[in-house]
Amino acid sequence: MAILVTGGAGYIGSHTVVELQNAGYDVVVLDNLSNSSEKSLERVEKITGKKVTFYKADILDREALEEIFNKEQIECVIHFAGLKAVGESVAKPWEYYQNNVAGTLILVDVMRQHGVKNIIFSSSSTVYGMPDAIPVTEKSPKKDCTNPYGWTKSMLEQILSDIQKADPEWNVILLRYFNPIGAHQSGTIGENPNGIPNNLMPYITQVAVGKRPELGIFGNDYNTPDGTGVRDYIHVVDLADGHVKALKKVQENAGLCIYNLGTGVGYSVLDLVKTFEETTGVKIPYSIKERRAGDIDANYADATKAKEELGWEAKYGVKEMCADSWRWQSQNPNGYED
């Protein structure tokens, strides 16, 4: 029996394939490569010394999915495939709802027709919107999202929960990621954004490697200790391990489970810049810009539930995150094109 990883050639997916293979699981990857390169999987194979079965396929393509489920013995799907650029989702809402929501509906339909009723889904802390109190627990209310990307996550959580409620044979594990950064310690796989990075760490590493002149910090008048936004950064290898641990709940037939995956510690933009500089010895020039629409002051996780129920806890701190992000970027200035 194998684990099907949709979006497995992407940033979090490729790191999760490594941890799954290291834990002894057989892995099948499906990806349409719309935001990734097959080279990531070649590098995964080098890290683990194991073969990855890969299908270049789209989750919207029912026939292709049928073929994979007919051919492979899938016991659980870890579902990363989706579009994730917040700004783009505002400009192209139809494309985001079609790809993320319609794609998942097709995937889940093919799964149930093949008797595969186990899914681990990539959700996001974005479902908490502007939280009333931090740290947020899984019981904190879901709020309005500020963009269509966020809504696809919120809606898919609801859809998968309703499917599990109607058919308790389903195990649905919703993992709410905080801010994944870092890269595999080998420096051979990592985040590879197209164009100008939206997120903070890839922007910092692109400034560090000389691709961009300076970092723009979006606002220094937030209600936080130094005025810049506070987030819960989590090492992508810890996040990947959270998926391996979440499989335990599938094996226990636990039904619907929701977990925050974060470290429980908040760092400001300036904290992250300072830690990056101290860890790598590379200076990051920056200037303060206007606030970015939709940003919140601060958010970080209460990850007690994942610790108690999954035995999962983040092992790496922000220094390791900075060092590993930098190793990946400096060894691969052009991502997988190097």
Say how far apart CA 307 and CA 259 lie, in whole Å: 9
Residue 7 interacting partner from ligand NAD, ligand UD1, none (CB closer than 5 to 8 Å by kind): ligand NAD
How many Å is the Cα radius of gyration of the chain?
Answer: 19
Say how far apart CA 204 and CA 187 lie, in whole Å: 17
CB 235 within 8 A of CB 320: yes
Say how far apart CA 57 and CA 37 lie, in whole Å: 13
The identity of residue 308, as a single letter, is E
Contacts of 201 (CB under 8 A, 6+ apart): 181, 182, 191, 233, 272, 321, 325
> With CB under 6 A as the contact rule, which of the stretches 92-100, 110-118, 291-299, 308-316 interacts with ligand UD1?
291-299
25 versus 276: smaller Cβ distance to ligand UD1: 276
In the complex, least distance from residue 181 CB atom to ligand NAD, rounded to whole angstroms = 8
Say how far apart CA 115 and CA 74 lie, in whole Å: 9
Applying CB under 6 A, does 7 fall inside the site for ligand UD1? Answer: no
Residue nearest to ligand UD1 (CB): 229
Question: In the stretch 19-58, what mask flags binding to ligand UD1 with x, by CB under 6 A?
Answer: ----------------------------------------
Selected binder of ligand UD1 within 16, 104, 124, 140 (CB under 6 A): 124
Question: In the stretch 227-266, what mask flags binding to ligand UD1 with x, by CB under 6 A?
Answer: --x-x-----------------------------------
Applying CB under 6 A, does 129 fall inside the site for ligand NAD? Answer: no
The identity of residue 163, as a single letter, is I
Applying CB under 6 A, does 13 fall inside the site for ligand NAD? Answer: yes
Residue 81 interacting partner from ligand NAD, ligand UD1, none (CB closer than 5 to 8 Å by kind): ligand NAD
Question: In the stretch 68-107, what mask flags binding to ligand NAD with x, by CB under 6 A?
Answer: ------------xxxxx--------------x---x----
SS3 123: strand
Residue 231 interacting partner from ligand UD1, ligand NAD, none (CB closer than 5 to 8 Å by kind): ligand UD1
Question: In the stretch 59-98, what mask flags binding to ligand UD1 with x, by CB under 6 A?
Answer: -------------------------x-x------------
Quick check: is 97 catalytic?
no
Residue 217 interacting partner from ligand NAD, ligand UD1, none (CB closer than 5 to 8 Å by kind): ligand UD1
Say how far apart CA 7 and CA 10 lie, in whole Å: 6
Beta strand pairing status for 26-31 and 53-56? parallel
In DSSP notation, 183-227 reads: --TTSSS----SSS--SHHHHHHHHHTTSSS-EEEE-S-SSSTTS
> With CB under 6 A as the contact rule, which of the stretches 37-45, 57-65, 196-204, 254-262 interacts with ligand UD1?
196-204
Helix%, strand%, coil% for the chain, nearest 5: 40, 20, 40
Task: Give the Å distances, CA to CA, from 144 to 67, 130, 148, 220.
Answer: 38, 8, 11, 24
To the nearest 10°, report the CA torsion of 203, 210, 16, 276: -70
SS3 121: strand
Applying CB under 6 A, does 232 fall inside the site for ligand NAD? Answer: no
> With CB under 6 A as the contact rule, which of the stretches 57-65, 130-138, 157-165, 272-280 interacts with ligand NAD?
57-65
Q: Which residues bind ligand NAD (CB under 6 A)?
A: 7, 9-13, 31-36, 58-60, 80-84, 99, 103, 122, 124, 177, 180
The residues that are catalytic are 149
* Binding stretches for ligand UD1 (CB under 6 A): 84, 86, 124, 126, 146, 149-150, 179, 198-200, 203, 215-218, 229, 231, 269, 292, 294-295
